[in-house]
Chain A
Amino acid sequence: MKIKNLLLGSLTSIALVTSGQSLADYPNKDIQGIIMWGAGGSTDSVMRSVTPYAEEKLGVDVIMTNRSGGVGAIATKYVYSQKSDGYTLLMGAENPQMHKVLGLSSIDYSDMIPINILARGTPIIVANNDAPYNTFEEFVAYVKAHPGEVRTGMTGNGGLTSIVLAMLESQVKLDLTPVPYNGDGPALTALQSGTIDVMSSVIGAALDHIQAGRMKVISVIDAKENNLLPGIAPITDTYPKLSSYLPWGPFFGIFVKKGTPKEAIDKLVAAFHAAAENESFKQLMAKRGFEIMNESGASAEAFLERYRSVSSWIVYDSGFSKKSPADFNIPRP
């Protein structure tokens, strides 16, 4: 590493002489953004649509790279292995918050500093158009009358579908036949072709299909009605006890490793805060059914902690976590 320092030193002196600029000024080179999901996914498109505005504020390029795999663990590990100098950002979704209890990884967002929690989604339950039920009560009654006949799409343990189902199971026993999919996109397609009858998803992913009349919503997993889906009763109307978990939903955020200098964090926070304030970004998110949060600092950390505690205990109670949340000092919600 000596050569690097030497080169850096000589370069700094050149830079100082020619521009009078001090190297201490962050940022003085391009920043790397590591996206934890593949190109074309919702995390990818959210990050690629907010970052250009932040680039303007920062004055350098943010080069975004997709490092998908391991439900986000690979990207998280990578960013964690880099220097905490503010030049490597983790652009991710909610997944790492479950990694500890699922035994996937020993790193989650509590080992990172949130730069910005951009937005969160609201889960809903959608059903095939031909399904003989239109509300959540009718759905429960139908499942009770026809045990095992209703097929539901699942996206793996720890995924949104598994947590929503576990939430419901804490209130009512449902005998459904799970059919596995590798993402909610393919599962929503299967819902339309009748392979599965019902599944949970987020508003953003299903909204277009609902508006085109290709599937129907039977419940909103929230404590209040959603203005994009007027007339659909929130789940708390049926199970008021669930309100202790809600609002709950997947989110998108940008993080740096703990130990990053304050100067860099402040600049990044300011840049991404301004970027998420941008009108066209806000409109875009609203259209996709995501709720803008644009939070950083203590409030972002509180949100992350709450998400982790709710989800970890739900999966633990329903019996498919590998480790107890108590092992990681995650408090019960």
Chain B
Amino acid sequence: MYMLNAWVSLDYVLLTALGTLLGIYVGAIPGLSVTMAVSILISFTFSWDINNALCLMIGIYMGGVYGGSRTAILLNIPGAPAAIVTALDGYPLAKKGLAGQAIGLSTIMSVIGGFVGIAVLAVAAPAVSDFALLFQPRDYLLLGIMGITLVGALSGRSLIKGIFAGALGIGIGTVGLDPLTAEERFTFGYVELWSGISPVVVMIGLFGLTEALVQLHNLDKAMIKQKVDKIVPKLGDIKKYLPLSIQSSFIGVVIGALPGTGGEIASLMAYDHARRVTKKPEVPFGEGAKEGLIAAESSNNAAVGGAFIPMLTLGIPGDAVTAVFIGALFIHGVNPGPLLIETRPDMFWFIVGTLLLANVFLLIFGLTGIKVFSKIIQCPKGILIPIIFLLSIVGAYSIHNSVSDIWWMLAFGVMGYFMRRHGYPLSPIILGVILSHLMDENWRRAILVERNDLGAFWANLFSSPLSLTLLFIIVFVALSSTPFWRILKQKISRK
């Protein structure tokens, strides 16, 4: 019943709407992150009533996660790390003149994902958080390995070059003071490198800058005409993709609920899943497969609901944004912790209600204004490209307010440009950067917990049902993508 509180006051509804709308733009502009926007709102909404403040912040969170897909589809610059996977198939669609359709589809799928996430939060939050606590360092490591197997799928023509790119990404991710022991890794005495190279900088450089540089090659080519009719996907289409969307959403909720993994890893996992279950995509993955877009968008929005689960049940943030939420709730005198659901059920249900409301507004705002957005990329290249460059620069700068981030962005842009010229795929690099911390930290914890004893590491791995299941999935996935598997399958079916 408390849930209805969020809907009965006009103030709440309007603030949620405003937040969602703002969030879409925050998410879409590279360099403006949801984390940043929410923490600015803390001081902005300081003297407000807590419910009002929450409405605005939750709206921004919901809108922001979705908004990242806009620039990912239109410009190949994911507005946020969670939208990286969206760019893989979204941008090729825009290149074919289907930007409008892609945005429409991603909106619907985001909303579905959002609803699944909220439903799980409302129904099963305590159970999911207990499950999340079962994950040991070795299980996080296995999740990382599962993610890295995607390199195979993202490599394109040359697997060797794909593996090189993936390893490069992992290497880039380790630059900086080691977060665990504070030892310097590849910093060469340069203090600005201590905090490492932000994945967003790598992403803006490799995706945005590289793409814009490549576009300079075909300045003379005519712009692709964007089709702006049939933006809202047909009901039949939605029905057809619904199972995949729901499955991706569940992956999103669970990964989102794990402390330390968020929307970006969730969307990678869901993408991997989609690639395996889709027998015959209309277009290959990476060239504009709708299934890829659906998996990415459903899962990253479902991860929002997921991220709230450990926060509201244990006081543990599920991702960077919920960490800021915890700070905000504290400031307003609410302790988001293991006692919240018991002592302040009104607060719990108010958050659930607001999330739901924000999701509804997402549907409304997401489906309006698509025409204007897709027209953006029809403005002359000679004007659009300089603007993309400026956006990339400002985006890179504003992550840490530091000029050296512009240099990294530039360096990655140049590197990406030359790697692309010579047939190296770029998306495995980003994949590696995202997964680097997860794998590095958890491999080391997993082995240090056993005092550097590999035997004990394997013994514990095989005696844990969770770890065994994860290992089994990895082996299955690895085998199923080798030719050996196909031969085996043929033999079995012949018998």
Give me the interface of A with B, judged by CB distance under 8 Å: 38-42, 44-45, 48-49, 51-52, 64-71, 73-74, 77, 102, 105, 148, 151, 154, 156-158, 177-182, 185-186, 188-190, 192-196, 208-209, 211-212, 214, 280, 283-284, 287-288
Contact = CB atoms under 8 A, between A and B. Distances in A.
A64 B43 contact: yes
B448 interface: yes
A101 B403 CA distance: 29
B444 interface: yes
> Is the interface on chain B under 10, 10 to 19, 20 to 34, or 35 or more residues?
35 or more
A178 B400 contact: no
Contacts of A105: 191
The 6 nearest A-B residue pairs measured at CB: A69-B195, A208-B337, A40-B323, A212-B338, A45-B327, A180-B180
A65 B399 CA distance: 10
Nearest to B334: A287
B191 A70 contact: yes
Contact of A40 (B39, B339, B401): B39
Interface stretch (B13-21, B133-141, B266-274, B386-394): B133-141
B191 A52 contact: no
B487 interface: no
Given A177-B451, A284-B333, A287-B333, A40 B46 contact: no
23 contacts: A39-B327, A40-B317, A40-B323, A40-B327, A45-B42, A48-B39, A51-B43, A66-B36, A67-B402, A69-B176, A73-B191, A73-B194, A77-B191, A151-B449, A156-B179, A157-B182, A180-B181, A182-B180, A185-B316, A185-B317, A189-B314, A193-B136, A287-B333
B441 interface: yes
Contact of A39 (B35, B191, B316, B448): B35
A192 B314 contact: yes
A52 B320 contact: no
B324 interface: yes
Interface of B: 35-36, 38-39, 42-43, 46-47, 133-137, 176-177, 179-182, 191-192, 194-196, 259-260, 310, 314-317, 320-321, 323-328, 330-331, 333, 335, 337-339, 400-402, 441, 444-445, 448-449, 451
A95 to B, nearest CB: 11
A318 B43 CA distance: 41
Given A45-B330, A66-B39, A208 B335 contact: yes
Given A52-B47, A287-B333, A41 B179 contact: no
A181 B136 contact: no
B377 to A, nearest CB: 32
Given A74-B195, A182-B180, A284-B331, A209 B338 contact: yes
A192 B36 CA distance: 29
Contacts of B180: 154, 156, 180-182
A223 to B, nearest CB: 28
